Chain A
């Protein structure tokens, strides 16, 4: 069964840091681009970053550029999001998602999400 499981969320003070993880199983992780997408409480979806299978292609939304770092460890079938200089507006559920090149890069597998709360 193909699945993604996020972890690492929690309560952090403004200016603090947090590292999210996304564990993949049931598919050849290294063959796929992976993305992080977030959803602020009661709000819509915001795509924030992607990384290709070899970690050579990375992109960030302007809202997180310079503060967040996406990475992956294909040997561990894991995706990461290192978040620093966190702000109240970063409060959200963070999802990892697989981009399936066979489906025109559609996000066909999503994790259950992990909640990040930035508050003093």
Chain B
């Protein structure tokens, strides 16, 4: 199975400050179609996961532009330019190129 390794596992950020989460996969997520089958999800407290980013850097409908994704192959990053209180929760990376699909362990973001 493809192992998705997120760092850090927890993050405490002052509102208005930036935050960054890294995700490394044990195999390349770049397919022959030139696309990386890589995603970011956020699970807010007490809620189901929700899609933030698909195909590395495309924001899902309604996701604020303070969220951005980058990377290719095996190394990916999620950046929040200015953290807000509503961004608290657990962030998961996920790959859907290799079966079984796999998630990272999750990164818990809290507000200072």
Listed in ascending order, the chain A residues whose CB lies under 8 Å from chain B are 35, 37, 44-48, 50, 59, 61-62, 95, 99, 103-108, 110-113
Contact = CB atoms under 8 A, between A and B. Distances in A.
B51 A108 contact: yes
Given A95-B48, A110-B50, A111-B48, A103 B103 contact: no
Given A45-B94, A112-B48, 12 more contacts: A37-B49, A44-B106, A45-B41, A46-B103, A59-B99, A104-B37, A104-B54, A104-B58, A106-B39, A108-B54, A108-B60, A113-B48
A5 B54 CA distance: 23
Nearest to A104: B55
A106 B54 contact: yes
Contacts of B99: 59
7 contacts: A45-B43, A45-B49, A47-B103, A103-B55, A104-B39, A107-B49, A111-B48
A65 B106 CA distance: 25
A48 B101 CA distance: 8
Interface of A is mostly: strand
Nearest to A35: B101
B92 A47 contact: no
A111 to B, nearest CB: 7
Nearest to B90: A44
B96 interface: yes
B35 interface: yes
B54 A44 contact: no
Query: Is the interface on chain B under 10, 10 to 19, 20 to 34, or 35 or more residues?
Result: 20 to 34
A103 B37 CA distance: 10
B92 A45 contact: yes
B51 A106 contact: yes
Contacts of B106: 44-45
Given A103-B58, A107-B41, A44 B103 contact: yes
Interface string B93-107: 010100111111110
Contacts of B104: 44
